[in-house]
Amino acid sequence: MVPSPPPGPIPKDRAELSCPPPTATGSETSAVRLARAQHSRRMVPTHQRRVCYHQRSKTWQLGLRNFNPFCWPLRAQQPRLRHRELGSSAPAPAAPAPAPPAPAPVAPASEMIELALWEPEIAPGPALGEELGVEELTLDDVLEIMAQLEYHTHAEEGVDICSDFLLARCFSGASCPQHHTQLPYHWQLWYSANLPPHWLSVGPEAHETLERIYSDPERTHVRASYQGVAFDIDLMDMNVWNSPHFTRVRRLSTSAAPGTPFRTTQTYYWKSLAGWQKYGEPFVQRIEAGLQAGQEQVLCSTAEHKYQLHLGVGYQRNVATGTVRPLRARPAFRAPALLLPELRTLSESLGLDLAPPPAPEPPPYPETWLPMAPEQDWLTAPMALGDHRFRVVYSLFHKSLPETQYRIVDVSRVQNRFLWDKYMR
């Protein structure tokens, strides 16, 4: 019997959220559970027990803190990396959310993030005397430059982020019909507590956090808090529940047109029994061609099967067997750390010098070596976001751990004079 397609977008299903592993039933005695635990412990090698425990508890920060993939003998400068799994509980317990009404979905408690609203500010840019001589600047010139560097967003829907502004090439200022934001993506909440209601941008760090979660097809809800009040964000219909301040959320992005700097690219998934899987390139081309042509359905096939993809409601159907699978499109995540070399707004706002710093001591010490007191044996120096070594560590770390599930908190370099001198011999 061919199952009928769902009436609406299937991704709203609450069954897609991961469930915790089953626990022991009440019928088991303490002795049975203890014997089973001891038996399973004997089956796991000693050097793997701690890692397995942290895999079950989903707290990788302690499990990986002592693991350094960049450690080799007599290496005096080693990057140390701390990270936290997205969705893990914060150190300080958050206030419990009020009981949601019946129609409102409830996000998992582990999805708590703190949102701080972003006040209007002036976008940072190059020094005023870089292109014009300081002596030649007039008051009108200064006002014009400041107007060009101002962040702004428009309340209308369907407006893209200005790619030229991200490259510091837009000179329209506040009159630009596109959004001027710091990143190629931008998140806003509809503030309806006061009149007139309007869109408010979240804080700079919340943009990256929301984008990471939204780029993961498994994530459909987020638990957030503002001024100590917890509320739920539905990433499927972009509604906000249980909040006295907000009712909606929206994501602004750059254009998806080919050739656009920092263009938005979508990743398309279909849900198998093992979870969400990416479509292959032939399917992606057919999907994008159908979306550009305004088609509700497209036909795709492999060597064994033929599928009918319903783009409007979000599911695929096997033509021969009638099997229905949900499909979903999410943007490809782009971390600010990797965008930094090209993103002028971010590099200027952080005050980062992308050039390598001068060597504080003459060779044989490397250029990143920090001065040390004679009584110091070693020190730990945090890596700046603008350091190209930070991006190298970032890329290597996320080769095995996905960006949408893990966030690097900081990267530190261990500096040891004795080991370095011995290494150079």
- Using CA atoms, how far apart are residues 228 and 98, in angstroms rounded to an integer? 12
pLDDT for the residue 370: 83
pLDDT for the residue 157: 94
Contacts by 396-400 with C-beta closer than 8 Å and gap 24+? 396/69, 396/70, 397/69, 397/81, 397/83
Q: Residue 131: is it exposed, middle or buried by C-beta count within 10 angstroms (0-12/13-18/19+)?
A: exposed
- Using CA atoms, how far apart are residues 24 and 26, in angstroms rounded to an integer? 7
Amino acid identity, position 200: L
Per-domain residue ranges of the chain: 36-67, 109-253, 266-331, 336-424
Cα distances (Å, whole numbers) of residue 44 to 47, 123, 291: 8, 54, 50
Residue found by looking up tokens 């254009």 in the block: 255
- Using CA atoms, how far apart are residues 416 and 372, in angstroms rounded to an integer? 10
- Using CA atoms, how far apart are residues 387 and 410, in angstroms rounded to an integer? 12
Burial of 228-248, coded b for 16+ CB within 10 Å and e otherwise, reads eebbbbbbeeebbbbbebbeb
pLDDT for the residue 340: 82
pLDDT for the residue 73: 34
Give the contacts of 267 (CB within 8 A, at least 6 positions apart).
215, 278, 329, 330, 331, 332
Contact 65, 82 (CB under 8 A): yes
Give the residues of the chain that fall short of pLDDT 70: 1-149, 346-363, 425
Question: What count of Cα atoms within 13 Å lies in the side-chain half-sphere of residue 53?
Answer: 11
pLDDT for the residue 141: 56
- Using CA atoms, how far apart are residues 423 and 76, in angstroms rounded to an integer? 7
Which stretch of DSSP H or E encloses residue 141? Answer: helix 139-148
Residue 5: cis peptide before it, omega within 30 degrees of 0? no
CATH architecture, range 266-331 = 2-Layer Sandwich (3.30)
C-alpha triplet 67, 56, 273: angle, nearest 5°: 115
Q: For residue 194, give the 3-state DSSP assignment.
A: coil
Which stretch of DSSP H or E encloses residue 113? Answer: strand 112-114
Q: Which of 357, 148, 361, 183 is nearest to 261 (CA)?
A: 183
Contact 224, 112 (CB under 8 A): yes
- Using CA atoms, how far apart are residues 110 and 96, in angstroms rounded to an integer? 12
Q: Which of 327, 310, 322, 231 is nearest to 272 (CA)?
A: 327
**pLDDT tens digit sequence for 61-112:** 323 333 333 333 333 444 444 444 444 444 444 444 444 444 455 544 444 6
- Using CA atoms, how far apart are residues 216 and 406, in angstroms rounded to an integer? 11
pLDDT for the residue 178: 95
- Using CA atoms, how far apart are residues 35 and 337, in angstroms rounded to an integer? 48
Helix, strand, coil % in the chain, rounded to nearest 5: 25, 25, 50
CA 194 distance to own-chain centroid: 30
Stated pTM of the model: 0.59
pLDDT for the residue 110: 45
Burial of 261-275, coded b for 16+ CB within 10 Å and e otherwise, reads ebebeebbbbbeeee
Give the contacts of 320 (CB within 8 A, at least 6 positions apart).
305, 306
